[in-house]
């Protein structure tokens, strides 16, 4: 399995593909941020592995420090067959004890590289209400994503979905 190791000694960060056995710990890590999100993640991770899991067009990566899962992020191709080189990133979460140490940046750049390598042209992601997730907006803006749209009352009344995109080719 392909791995990337950053740093040295005990605190070195490993980024690798998520395996089915990692689901429980990854979901627990997400629950430290938001219980509801962690239940959605559990559903989607299980479904992903049920449907044959990792493939060229979809994957979940995890970040580990000393065997502890400290971050995750996924991607998949767009469902529109006329937009084959468009990808979406999903489920970016970092363990709160490890914020602002560059872990999300490493996951995000690793995923961009993988998407580029399989011919991706554009990456999208969605974020909830701007006031609920200011750090996510700052993070993605720093990485070159721009707001391209907003779906009003998408999740429920008063809960919009913001669409951010970045051209990688
Ligand atoms: C958003 C999130 C993924 C960032 O993870 P992280 O590992 O702390 O991010 P990084 O350390 O790689 O941050 C890179 C840059 O993003 C910006 N950033 C990240 N978190 C920020 C915060 N809380 N406030 C302001 N800027 C922030 C900064 O520019 C930062 O660079 P700097 O530390 O040199 O100033 C993390 O806060 C998180 O998991 N939040 C909860 C879930 C979430 O919102 N996920 C995103 C869904 S789209």
The domain locations on the chain are 3-96
Is the full-model pTM beyond 0.75? yes
User: Which class in CATH covers the domain with range 3-96?
Assistant: alpha beta
Distance 52 CA to ligand 1 centre (A): 31
The closest alpha carbon to 111, from 94, 90, 93, belongs to 90
pLDDT, average across residues 125-150: 96
Strands (E), 116-158: 122-127, 146-156
Residue 24 has pLDDT above 90, yes or no: yes
Residue 130 has pLDDT above 90, yes or no: no
In angstroms, rounded to a whole number, what is the distance separating the alpha carbons of residues 22 and 28? 10
The protein residue with its alpha carbon nearest to ligand 1, atom 32, reads 100
In angstroms, rounded to a whole number, what is the distance separating the alpha carbons of residues 106 and 98? 13
Which of 31, 100, 145 for a ligand 1 pocket mutation test, highest count of atoms within 8 Å of Cβ?
Answer: 100
- Give Rg (Cα) of the chain: 16
Q: Residue 108 CA: which ligand 1 atom is closest? A: 12
């Amino acid at each position: 399995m392909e791995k990337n190791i950053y740093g040295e000694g005990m605190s070195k960060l490993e980024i690798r593909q998520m395996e089915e056995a990692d689901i429980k710990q990854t979901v627990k890590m997400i629950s430290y941020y938001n219980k509801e999100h962690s239940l959605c993640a559990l559903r989607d991770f299980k479904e992903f592995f049920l449907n044959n899991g990792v493939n060229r067009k979809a994957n979940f990566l995890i970040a580990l420090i000393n065997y502890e899962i400290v971050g995750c992020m996924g991607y998949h191709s767009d469902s529109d067959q006329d937009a084959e080189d468009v990808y979406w990133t999903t489920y970016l979460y970092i363990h709160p004890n490890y914020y602002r140490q560059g872990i999300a940046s490493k996951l995000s750049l690793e995923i961009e590289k993988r998407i580029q390598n399989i011919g991706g042209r554009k990456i999208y992601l969605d974020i909830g209400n701007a006031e609920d997730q200011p750090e996510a907006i700052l993070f993605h803006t720093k990485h070159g994503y721009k707001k391209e749209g907003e779906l009003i009352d998408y999740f429920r009344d008063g809960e919009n979905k913001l669409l951010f995109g970045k051209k990688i080719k």
